[in-house]
Amino acid sequence: MIKTSFGVPAAALREITALKNLARHPNIISLHEAVVEDDRVFLVCDYADKDLRAHMNSMGKLLPQRIKLYAWQVFNGTAHCHSHRLPHRDIKPQNLLVHVATDCLKLCDFSLSRPVLSPRHQQTQRVASLWYRSPEILLGGPAKGMLLDAWSTGCVFGELLKHTPMFPGASEIETLMFQFRTLGTPDESIWSGLSQLPHWKDTFPRFPQPQPGRIEGLLPDRLGSLSGCDPMALTLLLSLLRLQPEARLAPARCLHHSYFFDLDTQVGMPCHLGRARGCSDQSRKAAASNCAKKRRRDGDG
């Protein structure tokens, strides 16, 4: 980051403050040191091989159990942020870093995060990248960071399942129409106060609502590339991608969803969060080796 005539950029200060407040967590990037040299600020953080989008591009379609492991870590890191009342507000695959050998995933880039000071605290509208922006923000409504994060984690989860973005619009209105085409055009009966939002128009196209409890109602026309997915994965996905903000499942509650019942998580492990049945033996052996080396170093120290 480059210093300005006014000193250290505000984005850098927010990043440093956020990472210090969140302390060390297996799914949050750790800040080890901030170095100011000449007119630049360098943040020394954990090493990671690549971001999630680049990892998906190089790996191709991920195995179902690896998707489950990555999704659990996204929810775990986001839930930790929310427990400190610090929504991330820009969750996307490019802000999720992957350590390939251990399948460990870490949330990074907190430059848009803002603390929630009170339930009525209004936050700025400068939030999430377009494809991961929630419908209430696209319609000019208030930017409530935790509800936005729930939507964005749902978009990331859907992208893991589909291997392509959920709502890849070229503009705000096109992104909104992608959302309505997939999830149905809302009305006041399912979203109270919808008609009062600044950008809502009664002339929007009317896409039908999916039938309650019928996941197959979204297939194949709307989520065709997800046909054959675990039904529990689709249930969890639709619990996050609710058009009405208050109806979305919180990331902390996602961790206890039945979709994750067969996931073996070891939260206390220093080198990796857990393992999923079906992940490669090579990844498991690498993780075990790294953990053993760290224990030996700690013992020698």
- pLDDT on residue 285: 45
Return averaged pLDDT per consecutive 10 residues of the chain, 301 residues in all: 62 85 91 83 90 95 93 97 94 96 94 75 66 96 92 96 94 96 93 95 90 58 70 92 96 96 62 41 45 48 40
> What is the distance between the terminal CA atoms of the chain, rounded to a whole angstrom?
34
Cα gap 75→237, rounded to integer Å: 12
- pLDDT on residue 202: 94
Cis peptide before 220 (omega within 30 of 0): yes
Cα gap 159→161, rounded to integer Å: 5
Q: Tokens 């809302």, residue?
A: 186
Would you list the DSSP string of 23-60? Answer: -SBTTBPPEEEEEEETTEEEEEE---SEEHHHHHHHH-
Mind listing the domains of the chain with CATH numbers? 50-262 (1.10.510.10)
Residue 36 has φ and ψ, to the nearest 5°, of -105, 120
User: What is this structure's pTM?
Assistant: 0.82
- pLDDT on residue 216: 56
Bridge partners, 4 (sequence order) = 7
- pLDDT on residue 179: 95
- Among the listed residues 90, 103, 109, 149, the single catalytic one is 90
Active site residue 300: no
Cα gap 160→173, rounded to integer Å: 24
